[in-house]
Structure 1
Amino acid sequence: MNPPMLPITNPSASSAMVATTSLTANAATMLIQEHHDETARLLIDGRAVDTKPFLPRASSYTSTGTPVNGSSFYQQRRRRIASDTSLASLTTGGGSRSEYVAHAASETYLLTRLGFKLLRYLGVGYRWITRFLALGCYALLLMPGFIQVGYYYFFSSRVRRGIVYGDQPRNSYKAWGSLLGQQLSERDIIVACIDYRNFPQGTISDMVNDASLGVSFVCNNIAEYGGDPNRIYLMGQSAGAHIAACTLLEQAIKECGEGGSTSWSVAQIKAYFGLSGGYNLFNLIDHFHSRGLYRSIFLSIMEGEQSLHQYSPEVTVQDPNIKTAVSRLPPIILFHGTADYSIPADASKSFAETLQRVGVKAESIMYEGRTHTDVFLHDPMRGGRDDMFEDLVAMIHANDPEALAKDAVAPPRKRLVPEFMLKLARAVSPF
């Protein structure tokens, strides 16, 4: 049996996308962890359960578990004392049918309210309207794959729902990470899929704070679920890549005494993987505007023009005043498709080069002709060999000969969507 991914959320967390902006809607932030304990099979979703604070670390840890998108972590946390509604529901994968109905109703209300709020921001504009219609066509064409992944998400015995962090309701769309998480679980890797408040429910500082809380939860609790806290990796896709990078840098600055107390350490993160992300907002604001994420909305998400520097990791790492914080960053590997129109591939190339100049171990890996969603959705749904996935797993298993040997003989992934539907989806994709 293989371990799966862990989408971690909070009470009233939503599993549906509210916004259709290229920055905040198409994103996933994950913690990846190599795993060898075949009894641990976790996929955590958002249900209202006990939200007790993290407990102190235990004095020692011994296990052969796996890391969760993070870094090298240190000691195991004591097992959390859970209420009957939390831990009991985790072992069965959820609560009663009536609880799920009530939860679905509250989520529907939340999404409807936020949807109307977002419309007030967007107004009437042909760019976002045409992209919204394209999104509908895109989703229909990929529906055969979404249904299969959704079935796994909701009905697999390896799914665990109810693990909570923070106290704010969220509306991000964890399903973006489901397919990659399922793939990684088949290679003995646990994945914790972290959600965060999306616009207009929250702005960039809320998103970064939510991501940091999620990383803290995994770092402090993963041993409880069969993972190895010394083998944690952090990964983000699209907006999730940007948010995760901001989270990592903000944490490094805090550790240097600039931002108060911390509940996890950058030293716990073994490496950071950024997929199709943007890291210099000054270079992207006009690009996003031309693609329907209007400047006024973008600046609202980013809390004004004065915050663009703070939330542009590529710019921030060049500040000589935080040189010590930058030196704490883990190795950074950036993946990008050369045909990405949502966020140009130069965004990853430039960030990697900047990191190298300031002394951070970094590299960018380009996939020729791949678009924004090819590397994350289309290629996995196509089945067979997936270059980005194989590169990612090879890096996680780099120092594990046994795992590499298993990877070498792993069967190819099955196709989820017919090729002609994938090609049509690619042609109408709004991303």
Structure 2
Amino acid sequence: MQLSPERCRPMSENREAWSANSEEMELLHGSNRLSSPEHVRRRVSGNSSEDGSPRICRQQSFGRDIGHAAAETYLITRLSFNLLGYLGVGYRWITRLLALACYAMLLMPGFLQVAYLYFFSSQVRRSIVYGGHPRNRLDLYIPPTSDGLKPVVVFVTGGAWIIGYKAWGSLLGLQLAERDIIVACLDYRNFPQGTISDMVSDAAQGISFVCNNISAFGGDPNRIYLMGQSAGAHISSCALFEQAIKESRGESISWSVSQIKAYFGLSGGYNLFNLVEHFHNRGLYRSIFLSIMEGEESFKQFSPEVRLKDLNVRKAAALLPHIILFHGSADYSIPPEASKTFTDALQAAEVKAELVMYKGKTHTDLFLQVSKQPLKIIFYIHSSMLSKHITNCIARIL
């Protein structure tokens, strides 16, 4: 068999011939010829073009994606606002919700630091049981040093009687613990788990637990200070008044008012008759407020300011400790007049009481400032300890 010269050409010549034929075929077919996938990929990747058009295509595609995302976000936002409007949530509440969200984001770094210490610090003893209900728990903040018995602050947190939680006092607890003071933050039943009588009962039971057991944690049972903020100030003041009345009547008690060296009330409300309309206008509607307070007929019982007008309660008022009230002049949640009128009523009943007004501070501002820099409270606690020490030294000399 004889091979033709064409079939016996070298491979390099065959490649050149194939390439020439391919170019001829491409010229013959022109635009009717479909490009291969590999050819298309090379063109898109930019290897076959130097005019920069592929990069422009990618930029245009990215711009379209951003535009679509913005349009979808706007659509979802507009529909959400429409839905809130149909549900009866007006523009005023929407703007307040957005402002609250922005405020929370600004505070988030500080809260994360406090949360880390709350869950992982060896100085925090969380969820110690003081009663039989699920919310009967307290957190203890222990000072780093263990030399001698420490003064104790029992703190009842706020939360509009609905969202109170013991962890709200973690910043205050950590700050006071660094100043050699033990802090016990009480939890209690919130509405609708319980109403005001349940909350006052829980607070009294928590105070009793601290008074009778704090020595096991290094605390001095004879140097206990009671403190409450907002709704917690109202609840703790009611518990203190109830205990004083029981003692004045000679009833059986598990703790004594004499163990409480001072009461600190932050931004509290002590006259429910004066607050019901104010809260209604602020969003805590009358029907809900009446449910929390067990009806208007219970207002007198849970209004310490009003109870002071009763002659029988005035006898119990003589047992009350030194009462110091703190309030911000720009507080719109609970007006500063609430603390002022209560101070006046206490002084009229010959109770040692004073009011510390923070100019320009709101409801939240005051609590954050006192929590971060509790200087007045620390000064009072340690100065009373110093005066007691001086008194004891003088008594020994004489």
The answer to whether residue 285 in structure 2 is matched with residue 294 in structure 1 is: yes
Task: Tell me the SS of whatever aligns to 2:105.
Answer: helix
The answer to whether residue 224 in structure 2 is matched with residue 232 in structure 1 is: yes
Matches within 5 A, 1:182-221: 182-221=174-213
Question: Which residue number corresponds to residue 155 of structure 1?
Answer: 120
CA distance in structure 2 between the partners assigned to 1:215 and 1:373 by the alignment: 25
Matches within 5 A, 1:63-102: none
Which of 225, 244, 256 is the matching residue for 1:265?
256
Which of 288, 304, 318 is the matching residue for 2:309?
318
Deviation string for 1:160-207 (max 9, x for gaps)? 124101111227322221111111111100100011111111110010
Greater CA drift, 370-379 or 236-245 = 370-379
Matching residue's letter, 1:344: P
CA distance in structure 2 between the partners assigned to 1:364 and 1:132 by the alignment: 33
Q: Is the 8 A contact 2:200 2:238 kept in 1?
A: yes
Deviation string for 1:336-360 (max 9, x for gaps)? 1111110111111110111000110
TM-score of the aligned structures, taking structure 1 as reference length: 0.60
Q: Structure 1 residue 136: deviation in Å?
A: 3.7
Name which one, 1 or 2, has greater alpha-carbon Rg.
Answer: 2
Matching residue's letter, 2:215: A
Q: Cα 1:281–1:402, aligned 2, differ >3 Å: closer, same or farther?
A: closer
Q: Structure 1 residue 238: deviation in Å?
A: 0.5
Q: Which has the higher contact order (CA 8 A, sep 6+)?
A: 1
Deviation string for 1:339-382 (max 9, x for gaps)? 1110111111110111000110001000111111112125756x
CA-based RMSD of the aligned residues comes to 2.3
Which of 82, 105, 111 is the matching residue for 1:146?
111
Q: Is the 8 A contact 2:172 2:370 kept in 1?
A: no
Q: Cα 1:322–1:200, aligned 2, differ >3 Å: closer, same or farther?
A: same
Q: Is the 8 A contact 1:302 1:308 kept in 2?
A: yes
Q: Cα 1:164–1:134, aligned 2, differ >3 Å: closer, same or farther?
A: farther
Q: Structure 1 residue 305: deviation in Å?
A: 0.5
Question: Which residue number corresponds to residue 396 of structure 1?
Answer: 381
CA distance in structure 2 between the partners assigned to 1:320 and 1:330 by the alignment: 18
Q: Cα 1:129–1:272, aligned 2, differ >3 Å: closer, same or farther?
A: farther
Which of 357, 365, 373 is the matching residue for 1:374?
365
Question: Which residue number corresponds to residue 283 of structure 1?
Answer: 274
The answer to whether residue 129 in structure 2 is matched with residue 164 in structure 1 is: yes
Q: Is the 8 A contact 1:273 1:333 kept in 2?
A: yes
Question: Which residue number corresponds to residue 171 of structure 2?
Answer: 179
Q: Structure 1 residue 403: deviation in Å?
A: 12
Which of 355, 359, 374 is the matching residue for 2:350?
359
Q: Cα 1:132–1:301, aligned 2, differ >3 Å: closer, same or farther?
A: farther
Q: Cα 1:132–1:200, aligned 2, differ >3 Å: closer, same or farther?
A: farther
Task: Tell me the SS of whatever aligns to 1:234.
Answer: strand
CA distance in structure 1 between the partners assigned to 2:192 and 2:306 by the alignment: 26
Where do 5+ consecutive residues of structure 1 fail to align? 1-122, 405-431
CA distance in structure 2 between the partners assigned to 1:132 and 1:255 by the alignment: 46
Deviation string for 1:2-52 (max 9, x for gaps)? xxxxxxxxxxxxxxxxxxxxxxxxxxxxxxxxxxxxxxxxxxxxxxxxxxx
Matching residue's letter, 2:340: K
CA distance in structure 2 between the partners assigned to 1:366 and 1:318 by the alignment: 25
Q: Cα 1:128–1:274, aligned 2, differ >3 Å: closer, same or farther?
A: farther
Q: Which runs of 4+ in 1 moved over 6 A?
A: 127-130
Q: Structure 1 residue 125: deviation in Å?
A: 5.6
Question: Which residue number corresponds to residue 234 of structure 2?
Answer: 242
Deviation string for 1:283-302 (max 9, x for gaps)? 11111111000011000000
CA distance in structure 1 between the partners assigned to 2:215 and 2:256 by the alignment: 16
Question: Which residue number corresponds to residue 333 of structure 1?
Answer: 324
Q: Is the 8 A contact 2:172 2:371 kept in 1?
A: yes
CA distance in structure 1 between the partners assigned to 2:165 and 2:287 by the alignment: 23
CA distance in structure 1 between the partners assigned to 2:177 and 2:133 by the alignment: 28
Task: Tell me the SS of whatever aligns to 1:365.
Answer: strand
CA distance in structure 2 between the partners assigned to 1:141 and 1:287 by the alignment: 29
Task: Tell me the SS of whatever aligns to 2:198.
Answer: helix
Where do 5+ consecutive residues of structure 2 fail to align? 1-86, 136-162, 390-398
CA distance in structure 2 between the partners assigned to 1:215 and 1:285 by the alignment: 28
Q: Cα 1:252–1:345, aligned 2, differ >3 Å: closer, same or farther?
A: same
Matching residue's letter, 2:233: A
Task: Tell me the SS of whatever aligns to 2:133.
Answer: coil
Q: Is the 8 A contact 1:397 1:403 kept in 2?
A: no
Task: Tell me the SS of whatever aligns to 1:142.
Answer: helix
Q: Cα 1:319–1:124, aligned 2, differ >3 Å: closer, same or farther?
A: farther
CA distance in structure 1 between the partners assigned to 2:302 and 2:340 by the alignment: 18
Q: Cα 1:380–1:249, aligned 2, differ >3 Å: closer, same or farther?
A: closer
Residue correspondences, number: 275
CA distance in structure 1 between the partners assigned to 2:89 and 2:293 by the alignment: 21
Task: Tell me the SS of whatever aligns to 2:244.
Answer: helix
Q: Is the 8 A contact 1:270 1:331 kept in 2?
A: yes
